[in-house]
Structure 1
Amino acid sequence: MKILTCIQKSPKSIKEISSETNIPISSVYRIIQIFENNDMLLLKGDIAIAKFRLFQSKGNFDMLHKKLYELFLS
């Protein structure tokens, strides 16, 4: 939930997310990958050009929370 809240209003890099949430970078990468695989994020930037990507939550917070609940508890 911390990560979704952090990226709800504006796109952020993995490093920014980790810094703002106090979640280790390795954990942020893992969680972001889960979100990406379940179409929960908007991806900004291009890793080939800019060497980084920015992530922003996709859709409204309640819908994403419900999707996470279903993903992990079903």
Structure 2
Amino acid sequence: MDKFLEQVAEIFEVEPEEISMSTAFRELQGFGSMVGFSLIIMMEDEYGVAVSVDEFLKCKTIGDLYQKCSEK
């Protein structure tokens, strides 16, 4: 879980301590389509999880994204 938060923090260019699993990632400064795409690619590359755009759009928090990685 800590590694996942570190990877998300790197994508958003924030310190890992600034985010948590309950953080609504779309509300973070800098979120946009390229950041969203980077999150999807990170999940696929690092966790082997192919998340569809529809699945991604249903996720609200960083924890929701992490859950997708844990399910598969």
TM-score by length of 1: 0.37
Q: Is the helix fraction higher in 1 or 2?
A: 2
